[in-house]
Amino acid sequence: MKNKILIGTAGILAAFSIYSCKPKAPEDATTGDAASRVYVAPGKYDEFYNLVSGGFNGQLSVYGIPSGRLIKILPVFSVFPENGYGYSEETKPMLNTSHGFVPWDDLHHVAISTTKGEHDGRWVFANGNNTPRVARISLSSFRTEEILEIPNSGGNHSSPFITENTEYVIAGTRFSIPMGNKDVPISSYKENFKGSISFIKVDSSSGRMNIAFQLRTPGFNFDLSRAGKGPSHGWFFFSCYNTEQAYTLLEVNASQKDKDFIMAVNWKKAEEYIAQGKGTIEKANYAHNVYDDKKHSATSTILNEVKVLDITQFPDIVYFIPCPKSPHGTDVDPTGEYIVGSGKLAATMPVFSFTKIQNAIANKEFEGDFSGIPVIKYEAALHGEVKKPGLGPLHTEFDEKGNAYTSMFVSSEIVKWNVKTLEILDRVPTYYSIGHLSVPGGPTKKPHGKYVIAYNKITKDRYLPTGPELTQSAQLYDISGDKMQLLLDFPTTGEPHYAEAIPASLIQAKSLKIYKIEENEHPYAAKGEGQTKVERKGNEVHISMTAIRSHLTPDNIEGVNVGDDVFFHVTNIEQDWDVPHGFAVKGANNAEILIMPGETQTFKWKPLSSGVFPFYCTDFCSALHQEMSGYIRVSPAGSKTPLKFSTGKVENQESGAGK
Amino acid sequence: MKKLKPLSRLLIALSALILISAYFVPLWQIVMWAPQYPEGLTMKIWIDNITGDVNIISALNHYIGMRHIEVSMFPEFGYMIYIVGFVIGFGLLVSILNRRFMLIAYALLLMACGIGALVDFYLWGYDYGHNLDPTAAIIVPGMAYQPPVIGTKQLLNFTAFSGPDIGGWIFMVSAALAIGVLIVEIYLSRKKI
Amino acid sequence: MKNLISLVILGLILVSCGPEKPKTEGESQEHPSGKDAVIENVDEGKGVGQVKEVTLNTPLEQERIPRGKAIYEMKCQACHRLDDQRVVGPGWKDVTKKRKPEWIMNMITNVDVMLDKDAEAQKLLELCLTRMPNQNVSLGDARDVLEFMRQNDGEK
């Protein structure tokens, strides 16, 4: 009998253990007053702008922090039918490349411009990972102003990280490829494949970008990078993987070495060589697209050469530092002294010292070379290792108090540690599988601190389900105290990779309200209804149209034939804040266009059948928005219908409207 | 030749017959939770099969060099149906032939099966957790991933639990019945003396 | 007591909800007290805004007229004809005879406040049913437009 009881008890205990070993439920994780700390009352503003990459949506989204509210999506590398980006004649050239019009890209990282290592709130740069490109977005118009294609790159992942005064934006290739689009066997990787890192010079007043020079490197993969700052200003640090030089099944074959490299580049030295006329000019085709906000139009120019420095010929530009297993993030702390390498497959996290790296170079403490480039001894460069930080360390951001925050993909947590003592101070779970993370001002010399935001790779059960395809998600944590506190979950668009947060005070007042109609230099602008017109040039019909609450001029157009190319150049002649007009034509194989006050945008339409087609304003603008419309008559091809246009003119008193 | 009480015979028959359910319900379960798998990943071991999130578990485990879990890894699935069949037959035989020494043998057989299964499971787990692919992407020095035989264990970011499923519990009830009947029989026969 | 409190609150609201006055420029002369001036303005039919007093010269200031015309064509013509026909907004014929110059300039430069506070402006809104948009016209430009209107009304 006793035994029975014993067995029964054991059974119950065992059953109980199934339930008791479940991890702590996420609901318990927020603190009691979290709601009030993220609540931004109606009519009030968020404290920070959060500029978040959209990953595979090719866009940049603007969130408010701490509320986590999505404020706007800015199209960068992808067409955006919502406002006509990539559909209007003016914006189509923005997406031109040496491969022609590429309507999509994978936007991974952002970099807000800095002066003296601190946020200046002028521009934000973004990378196109797939068809290598770098974009510059204005933080006053919040529009993509420039896109530069990167030649000799196999995927622009190690980008667009910037130097302290935004002297350069970096574009490091993810995949090595044969230079000059050469046709070679894939198996000739070691011989023919090269890496390239572009140093893109940024004009300090206009922001215009051009490739100053490219570093040609041995063939392997570049992952991420960060510029030095303060004492390490003049240096750039790149994480490298696949130093095994594998070209197939990288999952296995590029994970074999115990250590890959962090590549330290003395870019000031490279600049000197360039100034001395060193380096070679190589042929390369790449597009440079610039948006002019006076002409309200983009132009795309194909450039055809680039200056190259082969690092194997200039060995004092580059040094390799061994870093455990496939480093992902390489992050420089606000003082510029410490460089954190995050070996995503490694069990420890090395922190290198810039001073020690300099000493090791001076004393030639090398353990050998890789393709002729010196490899610094690991211990000689090492400040110390963070022991057992977590699993799958990816990225590190910093606060203003000397702490670092590292994202752990595999163990799905943020780990806080002290940069100097390397002591782990706190850890919090993320939901789920965090990729990048962001502390406001985290990559600058003067972090603003206060919050850390986790951008996750897996969302699962955090929101109401929406079928197999779910939203992506982010989490906001308060880091003002000793312990990190989860405050908020918020959904994100696309797939968030890196993001930066900047105090609203640095941007808000500069935000553009309208484009001045007086300054509109668009060749087809109708700056006033008196300038509206319809002109035929061969089989092109150009309509200069105005939009103002609540009519379009002209709103009756005749004389267009099937097969013509019809261009509606619509100028919004409003000069008031937040009065955009939209424009669309029935049956057009095109998206709408949105026209901001004072702006001209062009909608191209090739009518395929005859008839009378309505067009209308698509942005609800006023009480008489529904009336803001018109008709265009299309006659069969070859017809001689006279070209006519008008607004408010009633020809036929019998059948027409009005009296 | 000690004989058994009618009730004992009935209970032994019951002990044998409920084992038939082993062919229709899972015997053992392994559940793994991770931060990104709050709902848990479950693997169910049946008499001749493995079901559940086996492919997901295998896909995750391959990063650390563990082998893909497949039915062919377990020769046990080939003969377990016969072993259980033999146990059931033997139990029914005890009930029919009505011999106490046979009951002792039956109880021992059940216990041996249980212990044997656990030992077998431990040996498989040891091999599965230690015999890793040296080319794995993630190699944590000194780390092995042997699953727990029973109970919970932290393996990197996963909390793994191993324990009996319905069939396992039924097996235990069956063994408890046989052993309980045996104890009562011995107790009663000593009282008589 | 309760009444007193509500009076104080009402007073505070009145004080705080007034529009922020833009700084006056050379075109207009300042009145000593802002609040009184507004009321005074309304009474005199000068409208609400920073334009308090406009000096009109005869003959017309010729250099203003082409500038005023250019601004009209760019920012006003879409809604206002030069004859007396109303399209979106009223035609401009004889507007300088019907309205004080201050009212016209305030309507051009401070339209949102005018539509909220000025009875005459509100009557026009009821008639036209479309709020006149703020076209970001500066005081100087508005003065040029006014001169163009005077010319349109036959002044020399």
Question: Going along chain B, which residue ranges are E strands?
Answer: 28-34, 37-45, 50-52, 151-155, 158-164
A193-202 and A209-218 beta bridge pairing: antiparallel
B147 inside domain: yes
pTM for this prediction: 0.87
Which of B135, B157, B164 comes nearest A411 by C-beta?
Answer: B157
pLDDT in tens, A384-432: 999 989 889 999 999 999 999 999 998 999 999 999 999 999 999 999 9
pLDDT in tens, A439-468: 999 999 999 999 999 999 999 999 999 999
C55 inside domain: no
Answer yes or no: is pLDDT of C7 > 50. no
In angstroms, rounded to a whole number, what is the distance separating the alpha carbons of residues B153 and B164? 16
Identify the domain containing residue B114 by its residue range: 6-192
The reply to whether C83 touches chain A by the CB within 8 Å rule is no
pLDDT in tens, A78-118: 999 999 999 999 999 999 999 999 999 999 999 999 999 99
Average pLDDT score, chain C? 80
Answer yes or no: is pLDDT of A653 > 70. no
In angstroms, rounded to a whole number, what is the distance separating the alpha carbons of residues C61 and C146? 11
**Residue labelled with tokens 């893109």:** A200
Which of B31, B39, B157 comes nearest A391 by C-beta?
Answer: B157
Q: Where are the alpha helices (DSSP H) in A93-162?
A: none
**pLDDT for the residue C31:** 43
Which of B35, B140, B169 comes nearest A432 by C-beta?
Answer: B35
Contacts of A516 in chain C (CB under 8 A): 136
**pLDDT for the residue A658:** 41
In angstroms, rounded to a whole number, what is the distance separating the alpha carbons of residues A227 and A357? 15
Using an 8 Å CB-CB cutoff, list residues of chain A that contact chain C.
Answer: 514, 516-518, 527-531, 546, 548-551, 553, 573-576, 579, 622-624, 648
Please, what sign has the CA dihedral across residues A173, B139, A391, B148?
A: positive
Answer yes or no: is pLDDT of A204 > 50. yes
CB contact under 8 Å between A17 and B152, yes or no, is yes
Closest CA to A532 of A551, A559, A515, A516: A551
**Secondary structure (3-state) at A203:** coil
The reply to whether B193 touches chain A by the CB within 8 Å rule is no
In angstroms, rounded to a whole number, what is the distance separating the alpha carbons of residues A647 and A536? 19
From the CB of residue A181, how many other CB atoms can be counted at a distance below 10 Å? 11
CATH code of the domain containing A617: 2.60.40.420
Structure tokens at A369: 């070379």
B175 inside domain: yes
- For A40, how many CA atoms within 13 A lie in the half-sphere containing its CB? 15
Cα separation values, A447 from A38, A403, A404, A490, Å: 20, 11, 11, 23
Burial-class residue A641 by CB neighbours within 10 Å (0-12, 13-18, 19+): middle
Burial-class residue A629 by CB neighbours within 10 Å (0-12, 13-18, 19+): middle
CB contact under 8 Å between B152 and A433, yes or no, is no
Question: What proportion of chain A, given as a percentage, has pLDDT over 90?
Answer: 86
**Secondary structure (3-state) at A188:** helix
CB contact under 8 Å between C130 and A648, yes or no, is no
- Do chains C and A touch by CB distance (3+ pairs < 8 Å)? yes
Answer yes or no: is pLDDT of A24 > 60. no
Q: Where are the alpha helices (DSSP H) in B98-165?
A: 100-130
| Residue in C69, C72, C73, C75 to test binding to A, most A beta-carbons within 10 Å | C75
**pLDDT for the residue A28:** 53
Identify the domain containing residue C73 by its residue range: 64-156
A394 inside domain: yes
Answer yes or no: is pLDDT of C21 > 80. no
Decide if A414 contacts A403 (C-beta within 8 A): no
Last residue of a domain, one of A461, A478, A510: A510
Closest CA to A417 of A356, A486, A348, A337: A348
Structure tokens at A92: 């189509």
DSSP calls for A550-580: TEEES-EEEEEETT-EEEEEEEE---STT--
Last residue of a domain, one of A486, A510, A534: A510
**Angle subtended by helix axes C101-109 and C139-152, to nearest 10:** 130
In angstroms, rounded to a whole number, what is the distance separating the alpha carbons of residues C33 and C94? 32
A9 inside domain: no
Contacts of B176 in chain A (CB under 8 A): 4, 7
**pLDDT for the residue A217:** 95
CATH code of the domain containing C127: 1.10.760.10
A22 inside domain: no
pLDDT in tens, C97-146: 999 999 999 999 999 999 999 999 999 999 988 889 999 999 999 999 99
CATH code of the domain containing A204: 2.130.10.10
The reply to whether C77 touches chain A by the CB within 8 Å rule is yes
Average pLDDT score, chain A? 93
A532 and A460 housed in the same domain: no
Residue A636 per-residue DSSP state: P
ipTM score here? Answer: 0.76
Work out how many CB contacts closer than 8 A connect A with B.
Answer: 74
Instruction: Specify the number of domains making up chain A.
Output: 2
A521 inside domain: no
A462-476 in b/e burial notation, b at 16+ Cβ within 10 A?
beeeeeeebebbbbb
**pLDDT for the residue B141:** 77
**pLDDT for the residue A30:** 66
Please, what sign has the CA dihedral across residues A353, A357, A358, A362?
A: positive
Residue A505 per-residue DSSP state: G
Tens of pLDDT along chain B (193 residues) come to 578 889 999 999 999 999 999 999 999 999 999 888 888 999 999 999 999 999 988 888 888 888 898 888 899 999 999 999 999 999 999 999 998 899 999 999 999 999 999 999 999 999 999 998 888 877 777 788 898 999 999 888 888 999 999 999 999 999 999 999 999 998 988 886 5
| Neighbors of chain C with 3 or more C-beta pairs under 8 Å | A
Answer yes or no: is pLDDT of A196 > 70. yes
A5 inside domain: no
Instruction: Specify the number of domains making up chain B.
Output: 1
In angstroms, rounded to a whole number, what is the distance separating the alpha carbons of residues C143 and A92? 41
Closest CA to A431 of A18, A2, A15, A29: A29
Contacts of B136 in chain A (CB under 8 A): 252, 255
H or E element at residue A231: none
B37-45 and B28-34 beta bridge pairing: antiparallel
H or E element at residue B22: none
H or E element at residue A331: strand A327-332
- Do chains B and C touch by CB distance (3+ pairs < 8 Å)? no
A92 and A119 housed in the same domain: yes
Structure tokens at A156: 């622009």
Residue with more model confidence, B190 or A56 = A56
B150 inside domain: yes
Please, what sign has the CA dihedral across residues A74, A76, A79, A83?
A: positive
B1 inside domain: no
Please give the torsion angle defined by the CA atoms of residues A383, A387, A392 and A394, in that order, rounded to the nearest 10 degrees: -30
Q: How many residues does chain B have?
A: 193
Decide if B43 contacts B57 (C-beta within 8 A): yes
Identify the domain containing residue A369 by its residue range: 50-510
Answer yes or no: is pLDDT of A22 > 50. no
- Do chains B and A touch by CB distance (3+ pairs < 8 Å)? yes
In angstroms, rounded to a whole number, what is the distance separating the alpha carbons of residues A251 and A257? 12
H or E element at residue A299: strand A297-310
Please, what sign has the CA dihedral across residues A636, A640, A641, A644?
A: positive
Distance from CA of A636 to the nearest CA of C (A): 32
Question: Going along A66-218, which residue ranges are E strands?
Answer: 70-75, 96-97, 100-101, 107-115, 118-128, 133-138, 144-149, 156-158, 168-173, 177-178, 193-202, 209-218
Cα separation values, B36 from A503, A632, B147, Å: 32, 57, 19
A495 and A541 housed in the same domain: no
Distance from CA of A427 to the nearest CA of C (A): 48
- In this prediction, residues A215-241 reach a mean pLDDT of 96
Question: What proportion of chain C, given as a percentage, has pLDDT over 70?
Answer: 72
**pLDDT for the residue C15:** 44
Instruction: Specify the number of domains making up chain C.
Output: 1
Closest CA to B169 of B32, B42, B51, B21: B21
Cα separation values, A47 from A69, A440, A484, C34, Å: 12, 10, 19, 35
**pLDDT for the residue C14:** 44
pLDDT in tens, A495-507: 999 999 999 999 9
In angstroms, rounded to a whole number, what is the distance separating the alpha carbons of residues A80 and A58? 10
Work out how many CB contacts closer than 8 A connect A with C.
Answer: 57
In angstroms, rounded to a whole number, what is the distance separating the alpha carbons of residues A175 and C152? 70
**Secondary structure (3-state) at B193:** coil
Residue with more model confidence, C130 or A157 = A157
In angstroms, rounded to a whole number, what is the distance separating the alpha carbons of residues A148 and A443? 24
A403 and A546 housed in the same domain: no
In angstroms, rounded to a whole number, what is the distance separating the alpha carbons of residues B24 and B46? 8
Structure tokens at B101: 């020494």
**pLDDT for the residue A652:** 67
Which of A26, A347, A411 comes nearest B38 by C-beta?
Answer: A26
> Under 8 Å CB-to-CB from C14, ≥6 apart: which residues?
none
In angstroms, rounded to a whole number, what is the distance separating the alpha carbons of residues A349 and A402? 17
Please, what sign has the CA dihedral across residues A585, A588, A591, A597?
A: negative
**Angle subtended by helix axes A2-20 and B166-192, to nearest 10:** 160
CB contact under 8 Å between B31 and A391, yes or no, is no
CA angle A480/A484/A485 to nearest 5° reads 95
**pLDDT for the residue B157:** 82
In angstroms, rounded to a whole number, what is the distance separating the alpha carbons of residues A102 and A87? 12
N-to-C CA span, chain C = 63
**pLDDT for the residue A2:** 46
CA angle B161/B163/B169 to nearest 5° reads 155
A268 and A224 housed in the same domain: yes
Closest CA to A451 of A44, A68, A123: A68
Answer yes or no: is pLDDT of A557 > 70. yes
